[in-house]
Amino acid sequence: MGTTNYVGAFIRVAEDCPVAVAEVPAETKRPTVAFVQYRLVSKHPYEFTSDDVLFEVHAIRHEIAPEDRDRARAEFFAKPQACLRTSPLGKRYGWGIHHDAGGRVALVPLGSEQYDALAADRSLRQLRAMRSRRA
């Protein structure tokens, strides 16, 4: 089983992110990946790892029953998965993602003092969310 977890890292927003300050993804009839990730991580900062978030979004969107989650998680991570650098939160909505020393994640809004401080912190591995378009 592979992992998407980072430890002591900060994923800054993508270079081509269209917003100057973070936006909350809109709630829709069928929840989007962005909305589910935002709701999960914003309500539980530093509680889940990247792997936990990615699988939980998959489980919610595919309506996987709680009793089937262990098997489904093993199947989900049996194939390589994209990390949170591909999250629409960092690509489109202006949210940085901080991974603490335990690999747990929290959202940090672009335009905040906390975002600027984490982006300048050289003790953290500095990454960028993936661009939406080629350069």
Residue with tokens 């973070």: 22
Residues 107-135 have a mean pLDDT of: 93
Residue 86 φ then ψ, to 5°: -95, 0
Continuous H helices in the chain = 33-43, 50-61, 69-76, 88-91, 113-120
Residues 83-103 have a mean pLDDT of: 97
pLDDT tens-digit profile of 23-68? 999 998 888 999 999 999 999 999 999 999 999 999 999 999 999 9
Residue 109 φ then ψ, to 5°: -75, 135
Indicate if the pLDDT at residue 133 is higher than 90: no
